[in-house]
Amino acid sequence: MLRQIILCSILIASINTMKNFKQYLTEQKSQNTEIKCDINGICKKIRTYESAGNEEKILGVYKDSKGLPTIGHGHLVTPKSESIFAEVFADEHKKDPSFGKTVLSGKGRLTSDQAEKLLQRDVRVRLPEVKKLVPKFEELSGELQGELTSEHFRGMLGKSKKTLEHINKGQYDEASKEFLNAKDYRESVAQKTGVAKRMENLSTALKKEAELQKKRLASQTTQAPAQPAISQTAPSR
């Protein structure tokens, strides 16, 4: 009896550690809790691209590489930002109803914890959008998931329809080349901005995915059961 209980416990634990991205989102939604920023290092990658080395700067409104007002870890300031702040920082607004307006106007600043909370909200909203663009998102490597999400944060992923077509057909080598065939990339190379490096990183991740795909196919071929040899002996009468 004890042995059965232990085996059941191990089975349940193994199932829990194997939850895919879709299950994770469903559970988070049903539990009405925020997605933690640790899914395959996606949030870490976004922090690296958007704010690494600028942790103080990003706590107030600043201009991104395109000169657009931004705050936190890549949150673009738009007319919707005030209502987003009211949702994310409900406690702050109870104490100070003008909290969002003050910060977004550049007269106030976020704390590091508040910037992280805003990032968690943005990730929670954007990941399902990426999943819609790339239906097999959760089947991809963690590195590629991070790069795809990062480019969606930047607003670039949906622009490259040919790249998406290649990705969704499993043509990762072609997607890798097509993604860099873009005006944004050429301008960034000429202007020596960080956008080019981000795009190159996604291109590299797509190449790696192509290699992983080849290895998986080779492994499946190797593991396929051998066909029984046809006997050359004449049947007995």
Q: Is 49 exposed, middle or buried (0-12, 13-18, 19+ CB in 10 A)?
A: buried
Nearest to 210, CA basis, from 176, 179, 181:
176
Q: What is the pTM of this model?
A: 0.72
The mean pLDDT of the chain is 82
Question: In the predicted model, what is the mean pLDDT of residues 46-71?
Answer: 90
205 touches 141 (CB < 8 A): yes
211 touches 199 (CB < 8 A): no
For the cut 70, the answer to whether the pLDDT of residue 16 exceeds it is: no
Q: How many H helices and E strands in the chain?
A: 12, 3
- pLDDT in the model for residue 116: 93
pLDDT in tens, 136-163: 999 999 899 999 999 998 888 888 899 9
pLDDT in tens, 65-97: 788 999 999 999 999 999 999 999 999 999 999
State how far the Cα of 201 lies from the Cα of 148, in Å rounded to an integer.
10
For the cut 60, the answer to whether the pLDDT of residue 12 exceeds it is: no
Nearest to 72, CA basis, from 82, 81, 61:
61
Domain boundaries, the chain: 33-133, 135-216
State how far the Cα of 199 lies from the Cα of 203, in Å rounded to an integer.
6
pLDDT in tens, 158-213: 888 999 999 999 999 999 999 999 999 999 999 998 899 999 999 999 999 999 98
Report helix angle 195-223 to 172-179, nearest 10: 170
Residue pointed to by tokens 């000429």: 190
- pLDDT in the model for residue 174: 97
Residue pointed to by tokens 């920082």: 89
Question: In the predicted model, what is the mean pLDDT of residues 209-230?
Answer: 75
Report the percent of the chain where pLDDT is more than 70: 77
- pLDDT in the model for residue 130: 94
Cβ neighbours of residue 32 under 8 Å, at least 6 residues apart?
none
